[in-house]
Amino acid sequence: MLKPTSPTQTEEEARKAAEAAAGGVVGGEVPGEGAGTVLNADAVQAIVAEGVDREALIESIKNELDLKEKYKIRNTFLQNKLGEYFKRKRTDDAHDGEKSVADQEQRYANCMTALAALRTEYESQNQSDAKIESEYKAKLEERSAEAREKSEEFIKFKRSVALAAENSRTGKNIPPKQVAQLEATDQRKDMEVVAVRLDHIKLRNKLKRHEQLLRQKEELADGLHLIDFEQLKIENQTYNEKIEERNEELLKLRKKITNIVQVLTHVKEKLQFVQVSKCLQRIFLHAENFFRPRTEVSVASSRVLTGT
């Protein structure tokens, strides 16, 4: 801290330092601080008017300026080091790039060869799948045509049987109109059976998917099955119940300890009271023993004086 030689010189130096500080920070930043610490002339005059220690303020400003210079020098040094690092890194990258050109070309050639092989395999597999698909389509069309033919033959056979049938009561043949109604009903029932069969196939596939999913869920992490997980849950619940029982016992013991502490406190107070009473009684006893001979002498003297 600065030590002035005289009061007049101190006041002048403080005034000059305050004016210099005010001129340096008015409309700008405080030295040594970051952006955003802006002061104005009124603020500086208010600081001066409040009677702030001028010497401390001057010393603080000098310290902040020195710190700013140190940071500036360190920043320049670090910037130079950073530039050297990036320059060296660009040189190393250039050397590595020149060395890896041949490797990249070789890798590219290998990738193109592998791609050509995969395309050939894909085309052959595609042709084989197309051939199998065409064979299955031909078989499907053949089987569908055969199924339609058999169905038409079965419908014709049923119609012929129905037309040739006779009523057991009247002995007459069944009218063709009634046969047509029965055939329409039969076709409608067949369509319902087909729809139900499709629903059954869908539900069966869905059931298989759910069963597979259930089997996957049964096998938990590290071979832990669902049964083991349920057993662990039961054990965990048992341990939680034991913990609750221990907590209840601990609470009872704490209450018992509290009662015992209260009883001990009461006994200590009573013991202190008895000890004090005992001391008082002992003092009274000593006093009584001390004053009793004097009392007997005075009584005897009074008897002698009175002649009794």
Q: What is the pLDDT of residue 222?
A: 53
Higher pLDDT, 42 or 129: 129
Position 272 confidence tier, pLDDT thresholds 50, 70, 90: very high
In this predicted structure, what is the pLDDT of residue 193? 92
**Polymer length of the chain:** 308
Task: Determine the pLDDT at residue 8.
Answer: 42
Q: Predicted confidence band at 93 (pLDDT cuts at 50, 70, 90)?
A: low
Closest CA to 61 of 109, 105, 14, 94: 14
For residue 248, what pLDDT band results from cuts at 50, 70 and 90? very high
Rounded average pLDDT over 174-201: 88
State the Cα torsion 46-52-55-61 to the nearest 10°: -50
Residue 283 burial (CB count, 10 A)? 10
* pLDDT for res 97: 59
State mean pLDDT over 206-223. 76
Alpha-carbon gap, residue 48 to 53, rounded angstroms: 9
Tell me which of 43 and 241 has the higher pLDDT.
241
The three-state secondary structure class of 30 is: coil
pLDDT category of residue 171 using cuts at 50, 70 and 90: confident
Higher model confidence: residue 144 or residue 290? Answer: 144
Arithmetic mean of pLDDT, 16-44: 46
Specify which residues 39 forms β-bridges with.
26
pLDDT at 78 over 80: yes
> CA neighbours within 13 Å on the CB side: how many for 82?
6
State the pLDDT at residue 224. Answer: 57
Instruction: Give the H or E element holding residue 126.
Output: helix 54-164
| Average pLDDT for the chain | 78
Which segment of 17-26, 130-139, 224-233, 246-255 scores lowest on mean pLDDT?
17-26
> Is the pLDDT reported for residue 176 higher than 50?
yes
Evaluate whether 54 touches 14 at the Cβ level (below 8 Å). Answer: yes
pLDDT of 52 reads 56
For the chain, percent of residues with pLDDT exceeding 90: 32
pLDDT of amino acid 294: 61
What is the model's pLDDT at position 168?
74
- At 177, the pLDDT band (50, 70, 90 cuts) reads confident
